[in-house]
Structure 1
Amino acid sequence: MSTNGSLAKASLPYAEALFESSQLIQLVEKTSQDLKFINDTISKSLLLRNFLSNPLIIPDAKKKVLENLFTDQIGSHVFNFLFILVERRRISLLNSIIDTYLILVYQLELTTVVEIYSSLVLTEIQKKALEKKLQVMTNSKAVKLVLYIKPELIGGFVVKIGSKVIDMSISGQLSQIASYLNVARL
């Protein structure tokens, strides 16, 4: 099993528990905002990520740092959840838990997450046009684009929706032509 697969598998019960408890107290959106804030804060500091994921650092020290960082910034619901992760020595799964939680929220809202790989940065007009087209294609209420820049595509873009891949890149077209020419030679 891949590392990402095992991380996702280990984080799923925590994400589901947080999602269900957030639904019960009607704080799904607030929890999403808090988790995004935490993710942004932690992703900006390699030192903080290493500190939180270090198994040799005692939980109380991690709690103190989290308390200093996030007091008055996030709701008590998410704060208590962070402390549970620290106590159970699962805080290193936080990024994966957040990703899984957000996927659950998107499913609840009938939002389809679409990965877009392009050779250049897309303009706002291009993003909106893609969102509209993909919304119709996927029959979703909304579409969330996750954008990646891959200059090796030469031009165009690749769309990934779950396990489906639509390759509209120049490098993809060149690969298709090359494979066609190799088959035609036989």
Structure 2
Amino acid sequence: MSQSSSLNKAALPYAEALFESSQLIQLIEKTNQDLYLISDTVSKSDVLKKFLSNPLVNPEIKKKVLQKLFLDQVSSHVLNFLSILADRRRINLLDAIIDCYLNLVYKLKLTTVANIYTAAVLTDLQQESLEKKIQDITGSKEVKLVIHIDPELIGGFVIKIGSKIIDMSIYGQLNQMTSYLNVASL
């Protein structure tokens, strides 16, 4: 089992609990905004990331730091959730929990998340075209593109939606040709 799938397996119950409680008190959108803010803040600071993931740091100290950082920026609902994660020594799962939570929200809204790996930056027109095509293919109301730049692809793009992969990259085509030629030469 890969590390990311085991992280997601551990994070899912927390994400589901946050999702259900947010749904009950009708704070799904506010929780989304709060989680984006938290994720952005943590991802921009290596010191904060290391601090939160350090198992030797007392959970009470982590809670105080989180309180000071986010007190006036996020809802008390999300702040309480962060405290619970710190108490249970699960704050190191925060990124995975946020990803799982957002996936639950996307499912609720019939939003498909498509990871796009491309060799070059896509124009707005290309992104819109991809969104429409993916909407048609999946039947989703909305498509969220997560774009990753990967120069190894040489050109073209790879689309990943869940476990489905559409490889339209030059790198992928070269690999297919290599496989074909290797099999043909046997």
> Residue 129 of structure 2 aligns with which residue?
129
CA distance in structure 2 between the partners assigned to 1:126 and 1:22 by the alignment: 35
- Equivalent residue letter for 2:146: V
CA distance in structure 1 between the partners assigned to 2:139 and 2:86 by the alignment: 40
What is the CA-CA distance between 1:62 and the residue it aligns to?
Answer: 0.8
How do 1:137-176 and structure 2 match up within 5 A? 137-176=137-176
> Residue 77 of structure 2 aligns with which residue?
77
How do 1:23-42 and structure 2 match up within 5 A? 23-42=23-42
Corresponding position: 1:112 with 2:112: yes
Stretches of structure 1 lacking an aligned partner (at least 5 in a row) = none
What is the CA-CA distance between 1:131 and the residue it aligns to?
Answer: 0.4
> Residue 96 of structure 2 aligns with which residue?
96
> Residue 64 of structure 1 aligns with which residue?
64
CA distance in structure 1 between the partners assigned to 2:178 and 2:56 by the alignment: 53
Normalising by the residue count of structure 1, what TM-score does the alignment of the two structures yield? 0.97
CA distance in structure 2 between the partners assigned to 1:44 and 1:28 by the alignment: 24
- Equivalent residue letter for 1:121: V
Stretches of structure 2 lacking an aligned partner (at least 5 in a row) = none
- Equivalenced residues, count: 186
CA distance in structure 2 between the partners assigned to 1:174 and 1:59 by the alignment: 51
CA distance in structure 1 between the partners assigned to 2:91 and 2:141 by the alignment: 33
Normalising by the residue count of structure 2, what TM-score does the alignment of the two structures yield? 0.97
What is the CA-CA distance between 1:161 and the residue it aligns to?
Answer: 1.1
In the TM superposition, what whole-angstrom CA distance separates every residue of 1:125-160 from its partner, at most 9, and x where no partner exists? 111110011110111111111111111111000111
Cα RMSD after superposing both structures: 0.9
CA distance in structure 1 between the partners assigned to 2:164 and 2:178 by the alignment: 22
Secondary structure of the corresponding residue to residue 146 of structure 2: strand
Share of identical aligned residues, percent?
Answer: 68
